[in-house]
A and B are shown apart, each in its own frame.
Chain A
Amino acid sequence: MLIELIKLTESDKRLIVALLLILILFFVIVGLIGYLIVRVMKWQGKRLDTGVSDVVYSRVITDKKTFSKYAHKKNWIIFYKAARIPVVIMLISSLVLLIRNIIYHDFTYNVFDTTEGFATILFCWDFSHVFEISTSLAFSLVINAPVLINEPHFVLEAWGSYLFVPGITIGGLWYLWCVQSLISRTLRIKKLSESIFDKNLDNFNQNEQLMNSLNVGQKPIAPDDKKVEEPKQKEF
C-alpha cells in the first residue's frame, strides 16, 4: 500500500542513483585514506626494530616481560627526542602571542579575527544566508551564493596571529605525527613481544616423532642376514 503511494519519476531515480554513487565514492576514498594511514603506521612501527634488534639477537633479553619493559622505555625516549622540535616550535609561537598580548594589553584577543587576526590574510565568506527556506505560502527552498566579507590584506596589528597560527599549526601537526609514531611503535612492541618469544606447538606431534624414531613400517632385519653381515674373525 505504502509502496504503491511512492511513485518515483525518472529524474528522481537518476537523482537517487547519483547520490548512491557519490556515497560509494566517498566510502571508497575514506577506505583508501585509511589504508594509507595503516601503511604509514606499519612503516613507523618498523623503525623500532632498529633500536631493539641488538638486545634480541645477542640474547640479552630472553623473556616477554623484560622485552616489553625495555622497548616501552626506549619508545618513550624516542618520542621525547622526536617531539622536542615541534614542542619548541609550539612554545615559541605561544610566546610570540603572549608578547603581543602584553604589548597591546589585550588578553581577549581572537587570533582568527577578520579585522585584527589571522583571517585578515584569508578569503572569508558569509555562509549564513546560503539556504533560505520560506513556508509562508508554499514550501520553497532558495539557495544563495555566499557573500565575500574579507579579501586578503595585511594588517600590522595582527602580526602576533601571523606568527602564532602557522607556528602552532606546523608544531601541532608535527607533534601529532610523533604521537602517531608512538602509537605505531607501541602496537609493534605488543606484536613483537608475542612473536619473538612465542613457543608454538602447532606443527609438533610428540607421538609422530616417537614413531619416526622407531622406524615403524620398515621390515625388521632377519637374524640370518645379520649373521651374513658379520665379518669373519681371523684365525691366528
Chain B
Amino acid sequence: MEGLFKSFGKGLLYIFVLPFFLLVMAGYAIVGLIAFIFLFFKSIILFFCGRSLDIELPEDKKAKAIIQSAIPASSNPVFNQGNMQQPLPNNIPSSSNPAPMSTPVNVNPHSVEEACFDQNKPVVSENKDEVKPEINNHQVPLQNETIPPVEEKKISPVIVKSNEDVVPPKNNISEEKYSPKRTSLINEPLEENEKKTDDSHDGIDIDFKDF
C-alpha cells in the first residue's frame, strides 16, 4: 500500500515535471541538431586533412600511455605475465643484491601461445661464452627449471606465516609439500590431528575457507 501511494505521489510529481522535461528535451534536440551539423562539417574538414573525428581525445592517449607503462610494474600477475617473477615467501630473507635468474625468461614472445604458455621456458642464449650467474640459495627457482642435486645438503624447515597466496613451485622442491592448514613447508610427518583425509597426499591443499 505504501508503494502504491509512493507511485501515486511520483505520478503526480511527474505530471507537473513533464512539460519542463519535454521543454528541456526539445531544447537539447535543437542544440543537438546544430552541434551535429557543426561536427559533421568538422569531420569533413578533418577527413580532407587526413584525420578523423576520433572519440579518443589527447587526454585518452596520454592516459593509455600511462596505463601501459604502469602495467609492467604492477604486482598483479594478470597484467605482467611476461615480466612476472616468482614471489618469495615472507620468511626467506631477500639478499641485498639479488642474483639474476639462472635462465632468462622469454619476455619477447613470437606468438600468443608462446606468450601464454611458454613464459618460463628458458631461452637459449646465443652467446655461449656468457658467464652464467650462480644460483642463489635463497632464490626460489622457477617451474620447469632443473637444478643439479646438491649433495649432503639438508633443506632446512621453512615456515610460512599465513601467506596462502604464495605457492611454491612443484618440480624443484618436490619433496616439500605445502599445506595452508599446516603452515609449513617441511617433510615432517603429519601430526595426528592434522592428518589429511585424502590418501594420495599429492598436490597442493587449497583451503577456500577464507575466500
Contacts and interface: CB of A to CB of B under 8 A. Distances in A.
Contacts of B29: 175-176, 179
A29 to B, nearest CB: 7
A83 B36 contact: yes
B99 interface: no
Contacts of B60: 54-55
Interface in A203-230: none
B20 to A, nearest CB: 12
Interface in A22-79: 24, 26-35, 51, 54-55, 57-61, 70, 73-74, 76-79
B193 to A, nearest CB: 40
A87 B11 contact: no
Contacts of A30: 10-12, 14-15
Given A54-B64, A183-B25, A28 B8 contact: yes
B9 interface: yes
Contact of A78 (B36, B55, B59): B55
Contacts of A60: 59, 62-63, 66
A31 B9 contact: yes
A182 interface: yes
B79 interface: no
B59 A55 contact: yes
A79 B55 CA distance: 11
Interface size band for B: 20 to 34
Given A54-B64, A61-B59, A80-B53, A180 B14 contact: no
A176 B26 CA distance: 9
Given A27-B8, A70-B57, A58 B63 contact: yes
B36 A80 contact: yes
A26 B63 CA distance: 50
A55 B8 contact: no
Given A55-B63, A60-B63, A77 B53 contact: yes
A203 to B, nearest CB: 30
Nearest to A35: B10
A158 interface: no
Contacts of B36: 79-80, 83, 87
A31 B7 contact: yes
A81 interface: yes
B64 to A, nearest CB: 7
The 8 A-B residue pairs whose C-beta atoms are closest, nearest first, are A31-B11, A27-B11, A34-B14, A31-B10, A30-B11, A31-B7, A58-B66, A54-B63
Given A58-B62, A59-B66, A182-B28, 4 more contacts: A30-B10, A35-B10, A61-B59, A80-B35
21 contacts: A28-B7, A28-B11, A29-B11, A30-B10, A30-B11, A30-B14, A31-B12, A32-B11, A34-B10, A34-B11, A54-B67, A55-B60, A58-B66, A59-B66, A60-B62, A74-B55, A74-B57, A80-B35, A83-B36, A182-B28, A183-B28
